[in-house]
Structures are given as C-alpha cells and as structure tokens.
Amino acid sequence: MKKIESLNSLKKEIEPNDIVWLLLFKKGSEQSDCAFENFKSAENKAKNAVLCYADVNEVRDIHPEFNINSAPSLLYFEKGKFKNAFKGCYKPEQFNAIFEKEVFAVPAGNGKEKPQKNVTVYTTPTCSWCTTIKRHLQENNIRFREVDVSADQNAAQEMVKKSGQQGVPQTDINGQVIVGFDKTRINSLLGIN
C-alpha cells in the first residue's frame, strides 16, 4: 500500500498503472479507521492493482478534484481514468469483492436458519443510505444481490418500473419493493428481530 501525499503523487500512480484503488479516509473518525484497517487486511486480494491511501486531514486537493464529499471513500481508476467511488466502511471480504468486481453476499450459515428470501438492493456508489442498508443486511446475515443502477441503465429502468420511483436505495424482497431505508419494514419482511 502506498501513501499518497497530494493530487500530483496520485497522478504519478494512476498514469503508469492499469488499475489503481485509492482509499480516502479521515484518521480519527470511527468509520474511516474501520475502512483503513479493513482495506489493509484486503490488500493481498487486489491482483494486478496498486492500492493507495490518503488521509484527508493531510491531503486536501484530491477529494475536490473527483467531487468526493465524504470519507471514507474508495476511488477506482482504470487506465488513467476515474471510474467509480464506493463510500463507507466495508469488511475485508467486501473490499475483496469490490476489487474482484463481484457482488458481495453474506455466506450461507449452517442450514438451521429459515429459508432465504430473494433480496435485491438497487444502489449507486455515492448513496450513503445504500451503504447503510447493505451493512444492515450483512450484519443480520441476509444474502442479497446488489445492482448499481448508475452503471446499468436497463436495471435502472427495471427498478423504476417496479416502484415508480427513481431514488435509491430500493430493496426488492420477494417482489415487495421498499424505497429508502425503512428499517422497520425491512426487518418485518426478513424476520429480523
């Protein structure tokens, strides 16, 4: 992992490398410290990529350049271009899934739990409530499929067709769509106490 001291030092990493991941975090913030520790734990899974980090307490010229307004945020650069941002603290296995461009799903339990409902969460990378709902589902061992509607126009149209709404997050639980993070309704539909 490489410490980034400025926008210029970031550009020096981005230019020669095909894939660069940059964690922008704010040291001393609980969410950011969580993200930094888990990012470090996941670094060996980022094949053929350069992993970097920058503390926004010290480096102030990166986040305005890429219109990032919250920390922690994981920025993805491919072939010299900024492609995406993932906000919030993720577990190491979630970072690995992001690095591998896979959907994260909570692993199945020991077979004693209730049958799993079909759960799809429609998100965008810049949505903080999307991160909140994903974390809530993961903490309660609910497997789900995440669909980034900012990257998939057909999925965005499908989402609007189901709910009549464009906002995210939207959660489809066995055909019942919940717009926003309605924790009480989500818990009720999923049997979370």
Fold designation for 119-190: Glutaredoxin (3.40.30)
pLDDT band at 115 (very low <50, low <70, confident <90, very high): low
pLDDT band at 99 (very low <50, low <70, confident <90, very high): confident
Does residue 3 surpass a pLDDT of 90? yes
pLDDT tens-place string over residues 44-64? 777 788 999 999 999 999 988
CATH of 2-99, one of 3.40.30.10, 3.40.50.1820, 1.10.10.10, 3.40.50.300: 3.40.30.10
Q: What is the DSSP string of the chain?
A: -EE--SHHHHHHHHTT-SEEEEEEE-TT-HHHHHHHHHHHHHGGG-TT-EEEEEETTT--SSTTTTT--SSSEEEEEETTEEEEEEES---HHHHHHHHTT----PPP-SS-SPPPP-EEEEE-TT-HHHHHHHHHHHHTT---EEEETTT-HHHHHHHHHHHS---S-EEEETTEEEES--HHHHHHHHT--
CB neighbour class for 81 (10 Å; exposed up to 12, middle 13-18, buried from 19): exposed
Task: Give the residue range(s) of CATH 3.40.30.10 domains in the chain.
Answer: 2-99, 119-190
pLDDT band at 109 (very low <50, low <70, confident <90, very high): very low
pLDDT tens-place string over residues 136-188? 998 888 888 888 899 888 989 999 999 999 999 999 999 999 999 999 999 99
